[in-house]
Chain A
Amino acid sequence: MYTPHTDRDIAAMLQVIGVDSLDDLVRVPAAIAPRGAVEVTPQLSEIEIAARFRRFAERTTAGEFTSFLGAGAYRHYIPPVVGALAMRGEFLTSYTPYQAEVSQGYLQAIYEWQTYIALLTGLDVANASVYDGATALAEGVIMAVNATGRKGVLVSRAVHPNYRAVLRTYAEGLELTVDELPYAADGRTDLGTLDALLAEQRYAAVVVQSPNFFGAIDALPPGAAERIRATKTVVIGVVAEAMSLGALATPASWGAEICVGEAQSFGNAIAYGGPHVGFIAASEAHLRRIPGRLAGKSVDSEGRTAYVLTLQAREQHIRREKATSNICTNQAHCALCATIYLAAMGRTGLRNCAALNVARAQELARRVSAVAGYARRFEAPVFNEIVVRVPGRAADVLAALEGRGIVGGLDLGRFYPELADCILMAATELTTAAEIDALAAALSEIPARAAARV
């Protein structure tokens, strides 16, 4: 319990209020009194709480395994300076900076985050963050729907399956139609049917992800964005692995007018899936359709530089049912971690880290492909993830690897039934040569019989 009241305090305060007891303050009609006992935890002291969570930690053994999991949540090095600064109490315990005069520090940090995201994506503006990559996509699609008045969306099947699932959830509410573009033999989006589909003039947006869910660099080829835009359809680029922005051509450079994505890779722990931090960047033309908070630079009554939340006429607390979105909370603290991370890494550090990711993934691809029976499923160049075809079922190979202390990656059959013999494997700057050795050795030891079991 974290309450400071002594019995004497309570008595004195009740007297000022003019009631006799605490129970008198909270009395409710008998009809709504709790029915039955409330079963919550016992009340524990702090060291007992720590012991309880030690037990939860002991039962969470994933950390004892060598892991090649990525698929939208990435293990990257986080310099200790990120936590040391972000956990300062002023940042941690402040509310949304509506009282700008006493929130200048946080507002400036948000302005810096917006700048980092704009510079990294190559677009004009970015918002103060949204819940995560999947909801960023849903919100980006709503922007395009509002911009075009159309209710269809055309999404590459190589966009993260969870992002597409969330888009379908939102689409149910908004009564949107979601159609999909297939992936090609090299792992990139197959644009073969694009022109015919665009001719129907019913899509608000075309959505592609790069690097896509298979790790492949899937930027739109030259001319594609122009063809899409010529039909008044918005190009949305998705970036589920923000670290790639340190190396790859910007989404703006290949035609994205709206870029949505996930920035967990910048200084945020994986934490079993959250909180992570979504971003939305857009060209100037879409500025007033961007959902959520925006920090702007202005001046105070004495002409000093001052930051403030701005363009609030877009938001739910002003516009209510006519708002651009119902979003209220953002992920300010995760965005702050990302901002500190980017400041500490700098241009040189970020490019280098991105290059390490590419190099480790290429090393991983070489070593795994050298094992008899294993090969890359797709040939397109990748950032830090590869798809490996295995002999037999991916699930069996992954189970065998787990017995050898390795979480080998994601069974793609979970999302793509036709890829049940494929594993999505990630390598980052934290993946060591020894770990790749161990994986290759383990794969070569898995008896072909076990691997081939169907």
Chain B
Amino acid sequence: MPLPAFETPLIFETGQVGRANRYLPDAAALDSLLPAGALRDELALPDNTELDVVRHFTRLSQKTFGIDTAFYPLGSCTMKYNPRINDAMANVPALRDVHPFAPDRLAQGALAVMWELERALASLFGMAAFSLNPAAGAHAELAALLIVKAYFKQKGEAQRHVVIVPDTAHGTNPASAAMVGYKVLSLKSDARGRVDPDEMRKVVGPETAVCMMTNPNTLGLFEPRIHDVSDVVHAAGGLMYYDGANANALMGNTRPGDMGFDLMHLNLHKTFTIPHGGGGAGAGPVGVAAHLTQYLPNPVVRACDATGAAVESSGWRETDELTFALDFDRPDAIGTMRSFWSNFAHMVRALAYVYANGADGLATVSKLAVLNANYIRASIRDVIDVPYDEINRHEFVASAQPLKRETGIRALDLAKALLDRGYHAPTVYFPLIVPECLMIEPTETESKETLDDFIAAFREIVATAHADPERVLAAPVNTPVGRIDETRAARQPDLRWRPPEPV
């Protein structure tokens, strides 16, 4: 179903001064309260009625494609259904309004949410402990690299400053490494798209700090020799970091801890159904094995039983009889990563999702995510090149390179044609090692019927590419706007509205 094409004026171009909504009682004039020099002179914001505001943002929402709109097979982003019960729980007033500096005594339930989630994640991913502090995946990567740096500093091995990343890695991996002053060494994957332990052996050494990997990797392929890779890195004195971007593929099946990883992060906005919200807020807990727990960012939540004794639990347990405290008194901690303790509303959502599934449910989630991805792969492999045509995990990559050679149609054009069919496009041109790459991740919440419709649409587009490529090049035509002049946007940046000059 196409999104509507009406133009919407900016909120600054509508409204009249004096059309204000009366949300609050009238205050005394500002200049009677503070010295004139402290006050601003103008404030060129519009006054709009609430009805105008409602129509404006309703129209903007109608020109925005969400998971709620239709199928969203955006590889690497795990665009699964976001259950509404999660939002309802995050919006319970007692949890929504609690202040981060409220005494622990008055925030026991909120702390219980954090503790239960942290314990469940630790058990689910085979880590000794998590800190819920980082605000997003890249932020957690930074926290993890700071942990690595602190660990080697304390060990007297501060010379270790090389981060090994496979050439399939996310851009955040090298960017995070740069933020701790580490150098990046990119490791070429083998012909089957995997990291070869023998190649790893050639590059590790006394300068190796950490190897950052995800498994399944960004091609959607499982790394079966991950244990050997970990052994090689560990033997050289380095650490193994698991990028949790692809965690939706492996719950209940294997755990980063079992694969030999020492640190990891999770994107709760992927695997644990936190709404992406147009690009955030996310949440990125960082987890570590036992030898690194003291470095985790502050704060962590401690539990005590009725007698006041500290509670250690390898996984989740009932909390009604426990009491909790935020612990900031950890001398080896890398510090804190953000203003307050966690993106707490998202911890509520993630825990509600864990409760909705339990251990068996989460294992099923991963299996069905893998089933859906492979079903699409097997259903389009005869019309598009699938460079790694084998059992993938939760996502797979196709390449439009042969199609481009034959018809001139690129991955980008296929993406735009899918928009015209009412689907969101797959991720294109990532990972960088596959030319004309399309990365498709359906997630487990889509039905066979939805996948069948998508497969039919995709096949028709490829057929059109062969028969009438101009039609595909013209796409999208059923969207609110056509292809956008990105060069102009970058060369003549227009990043804000400006009030008209007074006449």
- State which of A40, A272, A352, A362 has its C-beta within 8 Å of the C-beta of B123: A40
Contact mask for chain A residues 1-38; partner B; CB cutoff 8 A; 1 contact, 0 none:
11111000110111011110011111011011111111
Asked if B180 lies at the interface with its beta carbon under 8 angstroms from chain A, I say yes
Asked if B410 lies at the interface with its beta carbon under 8 angstroms from chain A, I say no
Contact assessment for A9 and B135 in the assembled complex, using a CB-CB cutoff below 8 Å = no
Contact assessment for A34 and B258 in the assembled complex, using a CB-CB cutoff below 8 Å = yes
Contact assessment for B47 and A348 in the assembled complex, using a CB-CB cutoff below 8 Å = yes
Asked if A413 lies at the interface with its beta carbon under 8 angstroms from chain B, I say no
Contacts of A381 in B (CB 8 A): 34-35, 38
Cα–Cα distance between A254 and B483 once the two chains are bound (Å): 42
Task: State which residues 222-247 of B face A: CB under 8 Å.
Answer: 222, 224, 226-227
Contacts of A325 in B (CB 8 A): 175, 179
For B7, B27, B110, B495, the residue with the greatest tally of chain A CB atoms inside 10 Å of its CB is B495
Asked if B29 lies at the interface with its beta carbon under 8 angstroms from chain A, I say yes
* Closest partner residue, chain B, to A221 (CB atom): B37
Contacts of A308 in B (CB 8 A): 484, 486, 489
- State which of A12, A60, A287, A330 has its C-beta within 8 Å of the C-beta of B279: A330
Contacts of A219 in B (CB 8 A): 38
Cα–Cα distance between A115 and B278 once the two chains are bound (Å): 18
Contact assessment for A102 and B149 in the assembled complex, using a CB-CB cutoff below 8 Å = no
* Closest partner residue, chain B, to A21 (CB atom): B367
Contact assessment for B20 and A298 in the assembled complex, using a CB-CB cutoff below 8 Å = no
Contact assessment for B227 and A32 in the assembled complex, using a CB-CB cutoff below 8 Å = yes
B121 smallest CB distance to A (angstroms): 8
Q: A58-B94, A321-B177 are in contact. Are A73 and B99 (CB under 8 A)?
A: yes
Task: State which residues 67-86 of A face B: CB under 8 Å.
Answer: 67, 69, 71-73, 75, 77, 79, 81, 83-85
- State which of B27, B108, B255, B343 has its C-beta within 8 Å of the C-beta of A359: B27
Cα–Cα distance between A245 and B40 once the two chains are bound (Å): 8
Contact assessment for B142 and A326 in the assembled complex, using a CB-CB cutoff below 8 Å = yes
Asked if B408 lies at the interface with its beta carbon under 8 angstroms from chain A, I say no
Contacts of A2 in B (CB 8 A): 80-81, 83, 273, 356, 444-445
14 A-B contact pairs sorted by A residue (CB < 8 Å): A5-B447, A28-B224, A39-B119, A60-B98, A71-B101, A105-B480, A106-B278, A270-B98, A275-B135, A304-B481, A310-B489, A312-B490, A329-B136, A348-B47
For A5, A53, A89, A96, the residue with the greatest tally of chain B CB atoms inside 10 Å of its CB is A53
Contact assessment for A297 and B494 in the assembled complex, using a CB-CB cutoff below 8 Å = yes
Cα–Cα distance between A128 and B280 once the two chains are bound (Å): 10
- State which of B33, B82, B371 has its C-beta within 8 Å of the C-beta of A93: B82
Contact mask for chain B residues 253-279; partner A; CB cutoff 8 A; 1 contact, 0 none:
111001110000000010001011111
Cα–Cα distance between A162 and B27 once the two chains are bound (Å): 32
Asked if B437 lies at the interface with its beta carbon under 8 angstroms from chain A, I say no
Contact mask for chain A residues 275-312; partner B; CB cutoff 8 A; 1 contact, 0 none:
11100000000010000011111111110111110111
Contacts of A38 in B (CB 8 A): 123-124, 252, 255, 315, 359
Asked if A332 lies at the interface with its beta carbon under 8 angstroms from chain B, I say yes
Contact assessment for B419 and A39 in the assembled complex, using a CB-CB cutoff below 8 Å = no
Asked if B334 lies at the interface with its beta carbon under 8 angstroms from chain A, I say yes
Q: A104-B64, A326-B141, A343-B11 are in contact. Are A354 and B30 (CB under 8 A)?
A: yes
B320 smallest CB distance to A (angstroms): 7
Contacts of B38 in A (CB 8 A): 217, 219, 248-249, 381
* Closest partner residue, chain A, to B393 (CB atom): A26
Contact assessment for A43 and B23 in the assembled complex, using a CB-CB cutoff below 8 Å = no
Asked if A449 lies at the interface with its beta carbon under 8 angstroms from chain B, I say no
13 extra A-B contacts, CB within 8 A, seeds A101-B419, A102-B424, A306-B481: A26-B370, A72-B340, A73-B340, A95-B278, A103-B65, A115-B497, A173-B179, A272-B341, A273-B344, A308-B484, A308-B486, A315-B171, A344-B21
Asked if B87 lies at the interface with its beta carbon under 8 angstroms from chain A, I say yes
- State which of B80, B354, B391, B480 has its C-beta within 8 Å of the C-beta of A19: B391
Contact assessment for B20 and A273 in the assembled complex, using a CB-CB cutoff below 8 Å = no
A142 smallest CB distance to B (angstroms): 8
Contact mask for chain B residues 28-60; partner A; CB cutoff 8 A; 1 contact, 0 none:
111001110111110111111010011011111
Cα–Cα distance between A343 and B76 once the two chains are bound (Å): 34
Q: A168-B335, A336-B277, A346-B45 are in contact. Are A57 and B494 (CB under 8 A)?
A: no
* Closest partner residue, chain A, to B19 (CB atom): A346
* Closest partner residue, chain A, to B5 (CB atom): A304
* Closest partner residue, chain A, to B314 (CB atom): A39
Contact assessment for A95 and B72 in the assembled complex, using a CB-CB cutoff below 8 Å = yes
Contact assessment for A296 and B489 in the assembled complex, using a CB-CB cutoff below 8 Å = yes
Contact assessment for A316 and B138 in the assembled complex, using a CB-CB cutoff below 8 Å = yes
Task: State which residues 65-122 of B face A: CB under 8 Å.
Answer: 65-69, 72, 74, 77, 79-83, 85, 87-103, 105-110, 112-113, 116, 119-120
Contact assessment for A359 and B33 in the assembled complex, using a CB-CB cutoff below 8 Å = yes
Asked if B409 lies at the interface with its beta carbon under 8 angstroms from chain A, I say no
Task: State which residues 37-75 of A face B: CB under 8 Å.
Answer: 37-44, 46, 48-50, 52-63, 65, 67, 69, 71-73, 75
Contact assessment for A13 and B448 in the assembled complex, using a CB-CB cutoff below 8 Å = yes
* Closest partner residue, chain B, to A46 (CB atom): B85
Asked if B362 lies at the interface with its beta carbon under 8 angstroms from chain A, I say yes
Cα–Cα distance between A52 and B359 once the two chains are bound (Å): 17
B164 smallest CB distance to A (angstroms): 13
Asked if B312 lies at the interface with its beta carbon under 8 angstroms from chain A, I say no
Task: State which residues 317-347 of A face B: CB under 8 Å.
Answer: 317-323, 325-334, 336, 339-340, 342-347
Asked if A350 lies at the interface with its beta carbon under 8 angstroms from chain B, I say yes
Q: A3-B445, A101-B479, A131-B135 are in contact. Are A90 and B484 (CB under 8 A)?
A: no
Contact assessment for B87 and A87 in the assembled complex, using a CB-CB cutoff below 8 Å = yes
* Closest partner residue, chain B, to A329 (CB atom): B136
* Closest partner residue, chain B, to A78 (CB atom): B23
Contacts of A114 in B (CB 8 A): 495-496
Q: How many residues of chain B are within 8 Å of chain A by beta carbon?
A: 215
Contacts of B316 in A (CB 8 A): 39-41
Contact assessment for A28 and B45 in the assembled complex, using a CB-CB cutoff below 8 Å = no
Asked if A111 lies at the interface with its beta carbon under 8 angstroms from chain B, I say yes
Contact assessment for A79 and B30 in the assembled complex, using a CB-CB cutoff below 8 Å = no
Contact assessment for A249 and B341 in the assembled complex, using a CB-CB cutoff below 8 Å = no
A434 smallest CB distance to B (angstroms): 14
* Closest partner residue, chain A, to B72 (CB atom): A95
Asked if A269 lies at the interface with its beta carbon under 8 angstroms from chain B, I say yes
* Closest partner residue, chain A, to B231 (CB atom): A31
Contact assessment for B282 and A49 in the assembled complex, using a CB-CB cutoff below 8 Å = no
* Closest partner residue, chain B, to A410 (CB atom): B101
Asked if A182 lies at the interface with its beta carbon under 8 angstroms from chain B, I say no
Asked if A355 lies at the interface with its beta carbon under 8 angstroms from chain B, I say yes
9 tightest Cβ-Cβ pairs between the two chains A and B: A273-B340, A39-B315, A333-B277, A43-B358, A89-B68, A275-B281, A59-B109, A169-B335, A96-B279
Cα–Cα distance between A61 and B109 once the two chains are bound (Å): 8
Of A132-140, A226-234, A370-378, the stretch lying at the interface with chain B is A132-140
Of A118-126, A190-198, A200-208, A436-444, the stretch lying at the interface with chain B is A118-126
Of B203-211, B286-294, B373-381, B457-465, the stretch lying at the interface with chain A is B373-381
For B7, B79, B177, B337, the residue with the greatest tally of chain A CB atoms inside 10 Å of its CB is B337
For B91, B112, B116, B355, the residue with the greatest tally of chain A CB atoms inside 10 Å of its CB is B355
- State which of B34, B181, B481 has its C-beta within 8 Å of the C-beta of A104: B481
Contact assessment for A63 and B93 in the assembled complex, using a CB-CB cutoff below 8 Å = yes
- State which of B89, B424, B448 has its C-beta within 8 Å of the C-beta of A53: B89
Contact assessment for A270 and B97 in the assembled complex, using a CB-CB cutoff below 8 Å = yes
Asked if A185 lies at the interface with its beta carbon under 8 angstroms from chain B, I say no
Contact assessment for A29 and B476 in the assembled complex, using a CB-CB cutoff below 8 Å = no
Contacts of B103 in A (CB 8 A): 62, 402, 407
